Amino acid sequence: MKHIFVVDDSIEFLEVFSAVLRRNRFRPVLVDSQNLLFEKLQITTPDLFLIDVTFGYNDGRALCRDLKLKYGLGDTPIILISGDHQSLVDYEKYLADDFLEKPFSYATFLEKANALLKVVA
């Protein structure tokens, strides 16, 4: 199973999205703080990240860039999510592989995730 790190400060979103991922044969790794993210990274290697742009007091875009450049995860796909379209316009500048604007359908996420993971649906 592919490990999908879901990085969001909304516990409700994490719980709902976790169920969606499990039903689609992914293994969710739920992260609601930056400290927890780095703890989980020591235990599990991610296959894909889904990161909220407004992640608590952190900028998910900067986190995306740091994961790619500073933490050796340059080949790991990252999808940024946000309810603010403007914050996603320059997603490539932060080295994200794709983006989703909230609200989004789970089918759209699965399509993008499978394409990035090169999984045959």
Number of folded domains that form the chain: 1
Structural domain boundaries enclosing 76: 2-105
CATH number where 53 lies = 3.40.50.2300
Residue 55 lies in a domain: yes
- CB contact set of 119 (below 8 Å; sequence gap of 6+): 2, 113
Chain segment 56-90, per-residue pLDDT in tens: 778 999 999 999 999 999 999 999 999 888 888 88
- The pLDDT value given to residue 84: 85
- The pLDDT value given to residue 121: 38
Separation CA 74–CA 30 (nearest Å): 21
Residue 120 lies in a domain: no
Residue 34 lies in a domain: yes
Residue 17 lies in a domain: yes
Residue 110 lies in a domain: no
**Are 14 and 30 contacting, i.e. CB atoms less than 8 angstroms apart?**
yes
**Are 42 and 88 contacting, i.e. CB atoms less than 8 angstroms apart?**
no
Residue 63 lies in a domain: yes
Residue 113 lies in a domain: no
**Mean pLDDT of successive 10-residue segments in the chain (121 residues)?**
96 96 97 94 97 88 96 96 87 95 94 85 38
What would the two tokens of residue 17 be? 């999205």
Residue 11 lies in a domain: yes
Query: How confident is the prediction for the chain on average, in pLDDT?
Result: 93
In percent, the amount of the chain with pLDDT more than 90 equals 85
- The pLDDT value given to residue 19: 97
- The pLDDT value given to residue 3: 97
- The pLDDT value given to residue 120: 38
